[in-house]
Amino acid sequence: MAAVKLPDGKELPIEPGDRARDVAERIGPRLARDAVVAKLNGKLEDLETPVRDGEVFEVVTKDSPEGLYVLRHSTAHAMAQAILELYPGSKLTIGPPIDNGFYYDVEVAGRITDDDLPRIEERMREISDRDLPIRMEEVSKAEARELYRDNPYKLELVEDLEDGDITVYRQGDFFDLCRGPHIPSTGRLGAFKLQNIAGAYWRGDEKNTMLTRIYGTAWPTEKELKAYLRRMEEARARDHRKVGKDLRLFTFSPDVGGGIPLFLPKGEMLRHLMEGYVREVQTRHGYEHVWTGNVVNESLYAKSGHLEHYIDSMYPPMVDGDTRYRLKPMNCPSHMTLFNSAAHSYRDLPVRYAEFATLYRYEKSGELNGLTRVRSLTQDDAHVFCTQNQVQEEFARALEIVREVLDTYGFAEYRVQLSMRDPDDTKYITDDAKWSRAEKELREALDRAGIAYDEEAGEAAFYGPKADFMAKDVLGREWQLSTIQVDFLQPERLGCEYVGEDGQMHTPVLLHRAVTGSTERFMGVVIEHFAGAFPLWLSPIQAVVIPVADRHLEYARKVQAELADVGLRVDVDDSPSSMQKKIRENARQKIPYLLIVGDDEAGEESVNVRRRGDKKQEAMKTGEFAERALGEVAVKAV
């Protein structure tokens, strides 16, 4: 008797003509209700797909990552159908599922604004209530051309497809060019919400037509949707652009230019504290700090390979006679030049250079986003020149630094993505042997450290594989923060050499390493992680002394001076406002400690301490408070 194999190894008999939905029903009615698609021999398929003898069969439910992906894809189709019904003559382009939701790019007949989203949502619910069967249909290229004779965007997509490999999905009168799979019917849609509208160029090319992109989110249940929307509301409240403005940390100005942040005094202090901490950790681990300027002869990037592989991210050259200079987009060629400025033997290695240099990337204006995507960025960059036998030890050292720093900031949950090259992609320097060695070293280093990792093809740097550390913040959002890269290629291109134990010249291996990446981006992440309520060691202003009345100003300044003498960053609020208003305003500024001083405190040389987030007040001697605060700073408590 014909049978399929289940994930647990058991076999389940099937009948001639059985489809995936029939097998799911046979396994269990509840499982069939939760099923959105099936997996046959590891490939996602519609529930209407026929099953065959010997196939490995698995039910994919709506609450699994793959099932959720399909659910969101089907919701994008429902939104597209609603738009065509409400805005006849609109032209669809592409509408994929994405993290937490979906979008669709449309050339709208008319105009859609955020105010129109509830109306589109309502039509989507009507489409769901119709419970329209969703069915795949194979079409020829000629048939696809006829279907989309009035839609140049879909026609362009059709021309890229092979005849015999083209499918459309239909639900009622609506159809869409799509590979699928999809849920069985519109009645199986979950809970959804349309979120916002943006502009997007067709195929991401600014020379093409600007389309309307509509974003939405979809979840299996209303409860999960509401939980997600609450997280998004919290994320908006933590948005580093808003918090940075409220706390007077940084600003942007069209007079200076997009993507170039300007840091106010408190923002500069935050930068200084962040960079100073990483500098201290690196120094403790044997790194030496260097400086290599902001402008570099273009010919150096031609040698390293950056000019060929990275030119789109470089600013145009500045010409001086026969020499062309570039604003520096990365440090590694300059650090290799430093290495080459002196002769080295194996006894000198490893050589560890670190630099907090401002780099310049020619980012497109549409991709700029506060501090997390800028054109001038300060990278906590480091490069380690070592022998091949030292790679494992130096990777372990770099890993120890990464772990210490991420733990200190409270990023306790993170995973590692092993970013490898795609051998079929031409963006990488060609040298299969060196790529294999670099990938082998990186895998072994992660395995020795006992770190689990996911491999991602096509995400390597053009010169070598890398281990990217993806950390979660307090809202569960994932950020790529730290990276360690193994490079067997650039040092040879730039002529880096050392004398080995055998008296012969050898090329060192280069480890590229960044702990917090760019200061700007990491600051944006940290602002949102803490919602601007920084731990004491990281707070630009650690305490504000608030006098009860003007006659207490002299004593307030005395307290400030005593605390500043022991290294604490303290302000006095000498504004004409009332004491209560001063307390409210400084609390809004998220100052860790408010120190209230009046007649009693002046007479007893004490302060009345109010800790951020705590309504209780505690009287203590000024020296006692200083000792407590310094202890909190010393352990970098979060």
What CATH number is given to the structural domain containing 122? 3.30.980.10
Residue 342 lies in a domain: yes
pLDDT band for position 534 (50/70/90)? very high
Does residue 430 carry a pLDDT above 80? no
Residue 426 lies in a domain: yes
CB distance 35 to 4 below 8 Å: no
Show Cβ contacts of residue 270 under 8 Å, excluding neighbours closer than 6 positions: 249, 523, 534, 538, 540
Nearest alpha-carbon partner for 622 in 552, 548, 563: 563
**3-12, 119-128, 247-256, 538-547: which has the minimum mean pLDDT?**
3-12
Report the pLDDT value the prediction gives residue 24, as an integer from 0 to 100: 93
* Token pair 């008797």 in the structure block, residue: 1
**C-alpha separations of 549 from 597, 600, 605, 606, 618 in Å:** 9, 12, 16, 16, 19
Residue 30 and residue 106 in one domain: no
Show Cβ contacts of residue 199 under 8 Å, excluding neighbours closer than 6 positions: 210, 211, 212, 213
Residue 601 and residue 473 in one domain: no
What single DSSP character describes residue 464? B
Report the pLDDT value the prediction gives residue 104, as an integer from 0 to 100: 97
Report the pLDDT value the prediction gives residue 435, as an integer from 0 to 100: 85
- % of the chain beyond a pLDDT of 70: 100
Residue 53 and residue 74 in one domain: no
Higher per-residue pLDDT: 129 or 414: 129
What is the number of domains present in the chain? 4
Look at residues 513, 529, 545 and tell me which one is the last residue of a structural domain: 529
Report the pLDDT value the prediction gives residue 477, as an integer from 0 to 100: 84
Residue 466 and residue 545 in one domain: no
Q: How far apart are CA 165 and CA 152, in angstroms?
A: 20
Would you please indicate which residues are annotated as catalytic (active-site) residues? Answer: 332, 361, 379, 381, 383, 466, 512
Report the pLDDT value the prediction gives residue 462, as an integer from 0 to 100: 84
For the chain, count helices (H), then strands (E).
20, 33
Residue 408 lies in a domain: yes
**C-alpha separations of 638 from 71, 627, 633 in Å:** 39, 18, 10
Report the pLDDT value the prediction gives residue 251, as an integer from 0 to 100: 97
Higher per-residue pLDDT: 466 or 269: 269
What single DSSP character describes residue 188? G
Nearest alpha-carbon partner for 304 in 148, 512, 125: 512
Does residue 290 carry a pLDDT above 80? yes
pLDDT band for position 414 (50/70/90)? confident
Report the pLDDT value the prediction gives residue 341, as an integer from 0 to 100: 97
- % of the chain beyond a pLDDT of 90: 81
Does residue 1 carry a pLDDT above 80? no
pLDDT digit string, tens, across residues 205-234? 888 999 999 999 999 999 999 999 999 999
pLDDT band for position 553 (50/70/90)? very high
pLDDT band for position 255 (50/70/90)? very high
Residue 629 and residue 569 in one domain: yes
- For the CA atoms of 524, 525, 527, 531, the dihedral, rounded to the nearest 10 degrees, stands at 140
* Token pair 């069969």 in the structure block, residue: 57
Does residue 452 carry a pLDDT above 90? no
Residue 500 and residue 542 in one domain: no
pLDDT mean over 28-36: 90
Residue 629 and residue 549 in one domain: yes
Q: How far apart are CA 394 and CA 407, in angstroms?
A: 20
pLDDT band for position 136 (50/70/90)? very high
Report the pLDDT value the prediction gives residue 434, as an integer from 0 to 100: 85
Report the pLDDT value the prediction gives residue 366, as an integer from 0 to 100: 80
Does residue 491 carry a pLDDT above 80? yes
Q: Go through 76-99 and write b for each residue having 16 or more CB atoms within 10 A of its CB, e for each that does not.
A: bbbbbbbbbbbbeebbbbbbebee
Residue 308 lies in a domain: yes
* Token pair 């021999």 in the structure block, residue: 41
Residue 523 lies in a domain: yes
**258-267, 416-425, 509-518, 600-609: which has the minimum mean pLDDT?**
416-425
- Provide, for the chain, the percentages of residues in helix, strand and coil under a 3-state DSSP scheme, each rounded to the nearest 5: 40, 30, 30
Residue 579 and residue 451 in one domain: no
Show Cβ contacts of residue 135 under 8 Å, excluding neighbours closer than 6 positions: 48, 169, 170, 171
pLDDT band for position 80 (50/70/90)? very high
Q: How far apart are CA 174 and CA 127, in angstroms?
A: 11
203 φ/ψ angles, rounded to the nearest 5 degrees = 60, 25
Q: How far apart are CA 41 and CA 422, in angstroms?
A: 25
pLDDT band for position 79 (50/70/90)? very high
What single DSSP character describes residue 403? H
Look at residues 39, 61, 83 and tell me which one is the last residue of a structural domain: 61
Residue 311 and residue 445 in one domain: yes
- ∠ CA 150-155-158, rounded to 5°: 145
Does residue 602 carry a pLDDT above 80? yes
Report the pLDDT value the prediction gives residue 76, as an integer from 0 to 100: 97
CB distance 272 to 356 below 8 Å: no
Look at residues 529, 553, 581 and tell me which one is the last residue of a structural domain: 529
Helices (H), 247-367: 265-284, 298-304, 306-310, 332-340
Residue 29 and residue 71 in one domain: no
pLDDT mean over 80-92: 97
CB distance 75 to 216 below 8 Å: yes
Centre a 10 Å sphere on the Cβ of residue 288 and count the other Cβ atoms it contains: 12
Residue 407 lies in a domain: yes
Does residue 105 carry a pLDDT above 90? yes
Secondary structure (DSSP) of 275-296: HHHHHHHHHHTT-EE----SEE
H helix or E strand, kind and range, residue 82: helix 65-86
Residue 571 lies in a domain: yes
Average pLDDT, the chain: 93
Residue 295 and residue 207 in one domain: no
Q: How far apart are CA 467 and CA 420, in angstroms?
A: 9
Structure tokens at 114: 């955020």
List the CATH number of the domain containing 588: 3.40.50.800
Report the pLDDT value the prediction gives residue 546, as an integer from 0 to 100: 97
Residue 283 and residue 141 in one domain: no
Centre a 10 Å sphere on the Cβ of residue 5 and count the other Cβ atoms it contains: 15
CB distance 5 to 56 below 8 Å: yes
What single DSSP character describes residue 313? G
Report the pLDDT value the prediction gives residue 205, as an integer from 0 to 100: 85
Residue 242 lies in a domain: no
Which residue range forms the structural domain that includes residue 13?
Answer: 3-61
Report the pLDDT value the prediction gives residue 461, as an integer from 0 to 100: 82
List the CATH number of the domain containing 322: 3.30.930.10
Report the pLDDT value the prediction gives residue 433, as an integer from 0 to 100: 85
pLDDT band for position 554 (50/70/90)? very high
**48-57, 354-363, 368-377, 434-443: which has the minimum mean pLDDT?**
434-443
